[in-house]
Structure 1
Amino acid sequence: MKTILKTFNLYCLSFLFLAAMNACQNDDTAFPDEEEQEQEQDSNPESITAIISDGLHGSWNEGDPIMLVHDEQTITVQAQEAGSSSILSGTIEGTFTDDNPLFGIYPADNKVSSDNESLTVTIPATQTGNESGYDEKSVVAVARSTSNSLNFQTVCGGIKLNFQMSGVTGIELESVDGYALSGTVRIKWDEHGKPIADKIENANSIITFSASDKSGFTPGKDYYISTLPCDVYGGYRLSIYKDGLVAHYFSVHQTIERTAYITPNDLLESELEFDDPDAPLVEEERPELDATTTALLRQYQQSPTEDNKQALLNQMGLRYDKVVARKKAKLRELEREAKTPDLVEEMQGIVDEMVENRDTRLEQQFLRLIDPRNDEDPNDAWMVLRGASAPNAYIGYAPVTNAEYAAFKGGFVYNAGEENYPVVNITIAEATAYCDWLTTQDNAHIYRLPTDEEWILGAGHMPKDVTMNADRVESGLTAVDAYNQTTGACGGIDFWGNCWEWTSSTDAAGSYIIKGGSWDSSRDDCRSEKSDVVRTGTQGYANVGFRVVRTDVSSAR
């Protein structure tokens, strides 16, 4: 019996030993060593998360296309869920470092190229206001990361519009300074991790924004035109298309920053003037006072404090800069369409002068505005010279004529029928003598030549499309009232073209400044602010006449 039990125990021990050996073999199959585990993990990298942190596209939609870029690899993946954060449908292999990061671009199609420091993407110049109120392809967001988490930030800012009127089918946005609003842009990241435009190619200063429906934009709905960050302080143009017509609106003193969508400062739909789209852009020369300026002027007149003066000047500056913006837009139009460079050069000179002399012009306009005088005799030959510092200054309605000069100088001869032509071939001394003669006949007033500044005050800014005898439209001089439909700021006539006019101002060399151009001058030379044309005062010239200023004898105004 003992022998049988012993034999049975041996069999049991053998069975347990074999079972243990088999279990060990099974353990080797189920649990690989550490090296095998690492290899398996490398072949199955972690998923990538995309987070949206700013911009119009505030959250992902399932299926949004995103491009991943790393180490010359590109792959298009999709957001797998809606929300501000989403796991992506694919991944990209590699080790992400500062020198070789992982990039992300949304929308995926906007990617152009990349290197280890930057991405190059496109901001489209043609956009459509879709159901969301913007063009999804224009709302470009980028990300840079050294981990499996991508934080997307927008590249763009732009302009937000909301029309109450119906029928608006399209908008054209232009930087009047010609700055880039769209194009192919290389993006880098600043020290705060924010994307910045480093270099722009194929730049466009105009963006067209169209309604997705032929009936136009939905009234009362917000729409967004996306642009590169841009300084539009100098002005931008909005051309608003409605019912086959177009209205132009200009705004100044604004800046488009990344993530920000500005709204036009004072766009009033009721004040938009619609015209044929093929009609030339007309520059607004002397806009009438608006309600805001009128109120500030009245406030200053009632209480002439420095604060009230500055408030009025600021409003005047805003309106002045809008006029300049229109001229810049005209310059850009000429650059695109003009057949001769002379037109572009002329307009560039006008814009440059207006920008350079902005403060002087504003001061002159301010002095005109606050001058309380009324014309003592609207039917005489003298016009109130508003803004002049001289006591109760008036300026001649027109240049001195042959007939007027002949009344002073006996034996003066002129051609028959030209009594109302401006007297020319007169020296400074002869013009001064005529003024002195007028003074001797009037105990209450002094007569003299105007200074350069006084002449500009009387003339005001020359309208761009003014009708005048210049640029050889006539074969010579004409009567001073031949173009009397054109008036200066004071209400006088014949300030521009026909004949130059002497002033009492001189340049550093002692030559006398002449103003206003003549029949054989270019239109550009006729501009009021042009003060670099001089003549020798001891000589008379066939195209130089003069105008007279009258002031009170008393030093009190």
Structure 2
Amino acid sequence: MKLKAFGIFCLSFFMTTAMSSCDSDEITDQPGEVSGSGNPTLTVLAEQVAGSDGYDENGVTALNLPSSQDVSNIYSGLKLNFSLSGITRIELESVDGYALAGTTGIQWGDSGEALTGEVENANSILVFNAPDENGLTPGKDYSIFTLPCNLYGGYRLSIYREGLVAHYFGVHQTVEMGSFITPADLIESELEFDDPDAPLVEEERPELDATTTALLRQYQQNPTEENKQALLDQMGVRYDKVVARKKAKLRELEREALTLDVVEEMQEIVDEMVDNRDIRLEQQFLRLIDPRNDENPNDAWMVLRGASAPNAYIGYAPVTNAEYAAFKSDFTYEDGQDNYPVVNVTVEEATAYCDWLAQNDPTHSYRLPTDEEWILGAGHMPKDVLMNAGHVETGLTAVDAYSQTTGACGGIDFWGNCWEWTISTDAEGQYIIKGGSWDSERDDCRSEKSDVVRSGGQGYANVGFRVVRTDLI
């Protein structure tokens, strides 16, 4: 039997244990204290029905345990208590696909720790139903049995009420054997109930919650390392909740998508967010604490919050044909396309334009953005962004054609229309381009996508650029 020691295997960050002495009495009444000659096994059902004691007496069984073994040290799961009435069904999912239900073998190590084996009939989704149409009793404790499970990476709790459903995502918790967790920050008044047939949508730019706002204010008033870490920890929880939501969407696509490319696209998004978690959190932190206001809201320069360069601003839009023609007198373009992004320019030509701007402004320097600066300006691409991508247009459009969609800095045309040069390069010296173009798939337009490169010595019909302005020191 292949065994895992849950005392070692499971992370216990932020675990909320809900095992009171009353809980132990409840669970000891469950079947399981039986003797037998076979190997001990633990079975958790994937569908449970609430009983009069708040749990399903048939939801979990432990067979062939030593008669001296207290099953309160075996049974584990999730404890819930709602003030809302009319909740008829609860669905629990490990967004990482770990088994919540199924059958596993049990042994005890030399130190008395529980060891579990491979899970048969494993299921990462578990359903807990109310006993009748009236729903769960408000104010009553309910216990959903699960296998021991590492839920640090996230779990989805779907709460069904009056024909609608609300989704809560928990992170940084672990169900240890013999313990019950409760959702760390579930606030019933913040649950948003929707049609259960509506697609599960991943949040893109969630607003700051009250806790994050308070910690930000605390850091601004007293910028100590301790206060910084408290703010970063809270931001990490919120970031991981967004990741958990995307993982849940990925699991949904794996079950229901008709084509593999949709699953692969979501997997790429999840992988990028997980791999670059620390970078993204640092970017968000720098944005939050950047105290600058736009000195001139009517000019073409937007505050590049979080940038390490001195007083950095980024262009409101990509450089247009008309703007580039003011620099290069022999540059021509089609009539009526003054406000189209200039394309077919090399990195050297784009840099020459920046140098020309600097010649006329002795107080600032101008250059192409780095990959990270471009991401700071754009921010995360909204899921419902309107843009010129995926062949919705037959070519380039004016830079303000989709101006209703703005980036994190307030600028426009970050996604679609034309790719944009950066001064960042890959290992082969190719220049990273950002934002996608009119003929790109929407996934290629994502701000964080940094694996599309071009030769800087060549111009392309779908690659333009925007400019970063910094103070001269």
Alignment TM-score > 0.5, same fold: yes
- Where 1:140 maps in the other structure, the secondary structure is strand
**Which residue does the alignment assign to 2:437?**
518
Q: How far has the Cα of 1:281 moved from its partner? A: 0.8
Relative to 1, partners in 2 of residues 1:202 and 1:59: Cα closer, same or farther, differing over 3 Å?
Answer: closer
**In the aligned structure 2, how far is the partner of 1:477 from the partner of 1:55?**
67
| 1:55 Cα deviation after fit | 5.1
What is aligned with 2:187? 268
Identity %: 73
Q: Does 1:319 align with 2:241?
A: no
Distance in structure 2 (CA, Å) of the matches to 1:292 and 1:542 = 47
Could you tell me which amino acid in structure 2 is paired with residue 422 of structure 1?
Answer: P
2:69 matched to which residue of 1?
A: 151
Superposition map of 1:114-133 within 5 A? 115=38, 118-133=39-54
| Equivalent residue for 1:198, pick from 109, 113, 117 | 117
Match of 1:136 in 2: 57
Alignment of 1:89-128 (within 5 A): 115=38, 118-128=39-49
1:470 matched residue in structure 2: 389
Once residues 342 and 505 of structure 1 are traced to their aligned partners in structure 2, the CA distance between those partners, rounded to angstroms, is 28
8 Å contact 2:94–2:125 — kept in the other structure?
A: yes
Q: Which amino acid aligns with 1:69?
A: G
Separation in structure 1 between the aligned mates of residue 287 and residue 33 of structure 2, nearest angstrom? 61
Q: Deviations over 1:271-309 (max 9, x none)?
A: 111110000111111111111111111111111111111
Provide Cα deviations, 1:68-101, integer angstroms capped at 9, x if missing partner. Answer: 533xxxxxxxxxxxxxxxxxxxxxxxxxxxxxxx
Q: Which aligned pairs between 1:532-547 and structure 2 lie closer than 5 A? A: 532-547=451-466
CA distance in 2, matches of 1:498, 1:214: 53
Do the aligned partners of 2:36 and 2:64 also contact (CA within 8 Å) in 1? no
Work out whether residues 142 and 152 of structure 1, in 8 Å CA contact, stay in contact via their aligned partners in 2: no
Conserved 8 A contact 2:32-2:61:
no
CA offsets 1:228-280 (integer angstroms, 9 cap, x no match)? 00010111111111111111111111001112111111111111111100001
- Pairwise CA distance, 1:202: 1.8
CA distance 1:59–1:160, shift in 2 (3 Å): closer
* Structure 2 CA distance for partners of 1:60 and 1:407, relative to 1, 3 Å: closer
Distance change in 2, residues 1:438/1:172 (3 Å) = same
Counterparts of 1:66 and 1:297, CA distance in 2:
52
For 1:265, what is the secondary structure of its paired residue? coil
1:485 maps to 404
Residue 516 of structure 1: how far off its partner (Å): 1.1
Q: How far apart are 1:216 and its partner, in Å?
A: 0.7
Pair 1:341 & 2:308 matched: no
Give the match's secondary structure for 1:438.
helix
Change (3 A) 1:446 1:292: same
Q: Which residue of 1 is the match for residue 163 of structure 2?
A: 244
Q: 1:382: Cα distance to partner?
A: 1.0
* One-letter amino acid of the counterpart of residue 140, structure 1: T
Give the deviation of 1:57 after TM superposition.
Answer: 4.1
Alignment of 1:115-514 (within 5 A): 115=38, 118-145=39-66, 149-154=67-72, 155-514=74-433
Residue 56 of structure 1: how far off its partner (Å)? 6.2
Q: Secondary structure at the match of 2:240?
A: helix
In the TM superposition, what whole-angstrom CA distance separates every residue of 1:6-51 from its partner, at most 9, and x where no partner exists?
Answer: xxxxxxxxxxxxxxxxxxxxxxxxxxxxxxxxxxxxxxxxxxxxxx
- The alignment partner of 1:307 has SS state of helix
Q: Please state whether the residue corresponding to 1:136 is helix, strand or coil.
A: coil
* Matched residue SS, 2:348: helix
Structure 1 residues 190 and 143: CA distance shift in structure 2, 3 A:
farther
Is contact 1:143-1:152 (8 Å) kept? Answer: no
Cα offset for 1:442? 1.6
CA contact (8 A) 2:433 2:453 kept: yes
Partner of 1:69: 36
Give 1:67 deviation, angstroms: 5.9
CA deviations over 1:125-153 (Å, ceiling 9, x no partner): 001111110011123334544xxx44342
Separation (CA, whole Å) in 2 of partners of 1:60 and 1:249: 31
Cα distance change, pair 59–257 in 1 and its aligned pair in 2 (3 A): closer
Aligned length: 451
Q: Tell me if structure 1 keeps the 8 A contact 2:43–2:62.
A: no
Indicate if the aligned counterparts of 2:35 and 2:64 stay in contact, CA closer than 8 A: no
* Superposition deviation, residue 499 in structure 1: 0.9
Q: How many Å separate the matches in 1 of 2:84 and 2:423?
A: 56
Shift of 1:450: 0.6
Distance in 2, Cα, partners of 1:449 & 1:365: 22
Contact 1:153/1:194 (CA < 8 Å) preserved in 2?
no
**Contact 1:153–1:195 (Cα < 8 Å) also in 2:** no
* Aligned-partner Cα distance in 2 for 1:204–1:464: 30
The unaligned stretches of length 5 or more in structure 2 are 1-21
Q: Is the 8 A contact 2:89 2:130 kept in 1?
A: yes
- Secondary structure at the residue paired with 2:337? coil
Q: Distance in 2 between matches of 1:452 and 1:65?
A: 59
**In structure 2, what is the Cα distance between the partners aligned to 1:251 and 1:536?**
44
Distance 1:445 1:275, change over 3 A: same
For the structure 1 residues 215 and 535, does the alpha-carbon distance in structure 2 shift closer, same or farther, using more than 3 Å as the test? Answer: same
The structural deviation recorded for 1:439 is 1.2
- Distance (Å, rounded) in 2 between the aligned partners of 1:519 and 1:317: 34
2:63, 2:109 → 1: CA distance?
13
Instruction: Give secondary structure in 1 for the equivalent of 2:116.
Output: strand
- Once residues 466 and 206 of structure 1 are traced to their aligned partners in structure 2, the CA distance between those partners, rounded to angstroms, is 31
For residue 125 of structure 1, what is the amino acid of its counterpart?
A
Match of 2:122, SS?
strand
| Structure 1 portions without partners, runs of 5+ | 1-52, 71-114
For the Cα contact (< 8 Å) 2:151–2:171, is it kept in 1?
yes
- For residues 32 and 176 of structure 2, the distance between their equivalents in structure 1, rounded to whole angstroms, comes to 26
Q: Which amino acid aligns with 1:544?
A: V
Question: Does the CA contact (< 8 Å) of 1:143 and 1:150 recur in 2?
Answer: no
Deviations 1:159-204 (A, max 9, x none): 1110011111111111111110001223333334454320102211
